[in-house]
């Protein structure tokens, strides 16, 4: 009888977990590929570079190198970055982690052009190439990379399983996928989620476990799936920059529009509060692609 009760509880718990749905932006058109490209072709890109540096992700080089160390990525390897923006992460992996070569894919023409220019300026044009396409239609060969990489960029993908499936297609058996992303933490209300997703032009935001499940489904053995712990300190740093250190620079980027500057501060204060309360975090993930004989898709 005890076994029956436990089994019934497990079934009920499983049904409850499966019934949970990822928080999704109600107005999906507001987070379309065109909407994202528009954001990163205008002042928003420059504001993020002002507070984050040219890598435009939380943690920058320190986070990228931590990922590389965990995934055992380094000399002798060829990688692909899906949603590469200006290629700052690729330049970091080639210069500081000793990766042999990288191919970056991004849909926004302006950031790809900037990436090519910066890569040439750093003398890395022979090791880093860019493809100006949707990452889901990249045209790269199957099993052609030792690893696939991304930093805080798959948050813009409506169906995140599709981008992970692309990573699984491109990487060799035994190869790695390594990435970070903005993730739902604990206690995020529906109203907060809608405001946050709209503000960031994100179509949806998963939890750490939801991303881990997607990795398993794509044929990866999950080696790392955790909160990086970097999100709240980073948001506090960005807010400090915009309010106290780089006020002139921020206002100049916004064409001296005081109303736009005040909204920018309000938006960052909102995100910093979500971060402080652990409602939004940065997830860190590393997965190893199973050999063909080992693959068994999981749900």
In a domain, 13, yes or no: no
Helices and strands per DSSP (H, E), number in the chain: 12, 9
| Integer Cα distance of 155 and 83 in angstroms | 10
Note whether residue 122 is domain-resident: yes
Look at the chain and report how many structural domains it folds into. Answer: 1
Q: State how far the Cα of 148 lies from the Cα of 34, in Å rounded to an integer.
A: 24
Residues 6+ apart with CB under 8 A from 90: 79, 81, 84, 102, 104, 119, 128, 149
How far apart, in whole angstroms, are the C-alpha atoms of residue 60 and residue 40?
18
Distance CA(80)–CA(93), nearest Å, equals 11
pLDDT at 7: 34
Residue 12 lies in a domain: no
State residue 42's pLDDT score: 76
Distance of CA 265 to the CA centre of its chain: 23
Q: Which residues of the chain have pLDDT under 50?
A: 1-19, 293, 295-299
189 within some domain: yes
- Closest by CA to 131, choosing from 166, 172, 168, 180, is 166
Q: How many CA atoms lie within 13 A of 27 on its CB side?
A: 10
User: Which residue range forms the structural domain that includes residue 96?
Assistant: 24-292
What's 154's domain CATH number?
Answer: 3.40.50.150
pLDDT of residue 123: 97
Q: H or E segment at 250? A: helix 247-253
Is residue 148 a part of any domain in this protein? yes
pLDDT of residue 241: 96
pLDDT at residue 265, as a whole number: 97
pLDDT of residue 20: 55
Q: What are phi and psi of 291, to 5 degrees?
A: -60, 155
Percent of the chain with pLDDT over 90: 81
For β-strands 128-131 and 101-105, DSSP reports them as: parallel
Q: Residue 23 pairs with which residues in a beta bridge? A: 205
Tell whether 134 is covered by a domain.
Answer: yes
- What pLDDT, on the 0 to 100 scale, is given for residue 292? 67
Q: Which residues contact 291 (CB under 8 A, 6 or more apart)?
A: 173, 174
The reply to whether 6 falls in a domain is no
Neighbours of 4 (CB within 10 A): 8
- Asked, for residue 150, whether it belongs to a domain, the answer is yes
Q: How far apart are CA 256 and CA 249, in angstroms?
A: 10
Whole-angstrom CA distances from 50 to 114, 129, 195 are 15, 25, 23
């Amino acid at each position: 009888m005890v076994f029956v009760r436990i089994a019934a509880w497990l079934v009920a718990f499983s049904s409850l977990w499966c019934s949970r749905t990822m928080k999704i932006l109600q107005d999906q058109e507001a987070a379309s590929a065109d909407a994202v490209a528009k954001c990163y072709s205008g002042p928003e890109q420059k504001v993020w570079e002002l507070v984050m540096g040219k890598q435009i992700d939380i943690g920058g080089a320190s986070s990228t190198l931590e990922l590389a160390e965990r995934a055992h990525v380094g000399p002798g390897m060829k990688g692909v970055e899906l949603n590469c923006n200006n290629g700052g992460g690729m330049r970091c992996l080639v210069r500081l982690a000793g990766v042999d070569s990288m191919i970056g894919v991004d849909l926004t023409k302006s950031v790809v052009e900037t990436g090519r220019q910066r890569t040439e300026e750093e003398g890395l044009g022979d090791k880093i190439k860019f493809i100006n396409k949707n990452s889901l239609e990249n045209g790269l060969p199957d099993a052609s990379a030792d690893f696939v990489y991304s930093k805080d960029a798959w948050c813009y993908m409506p169906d995140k399983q599709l981008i992970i499936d692309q990573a699984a297609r491109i990487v060799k058996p035994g190869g790695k996928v390594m990435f970070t992303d903005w993730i739902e933490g604990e206690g995020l209300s529906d109203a907060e989620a809608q405001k946050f997703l709209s503000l960031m032009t994100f179509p949806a935001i998963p939890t750490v476990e939801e991303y881990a499940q997607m990795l398993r489904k794509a044929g990866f053995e999950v080696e790392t799936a955790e909160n990086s712990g970097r999100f709240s300190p980073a948001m506090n740093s960005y807010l400090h920059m915009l309010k106290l250190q780089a006020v002139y620079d921020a206002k100049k980027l916004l064409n001296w529009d005081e109303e736009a500057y005040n909204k920018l501060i309000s938006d960052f204060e909102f995100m910093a509060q979500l971060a402080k309360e652990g409602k939004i975090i940065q997830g860190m993930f590393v997965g190893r692609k199973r050999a063909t004989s080992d693959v068994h898709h999981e749900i």
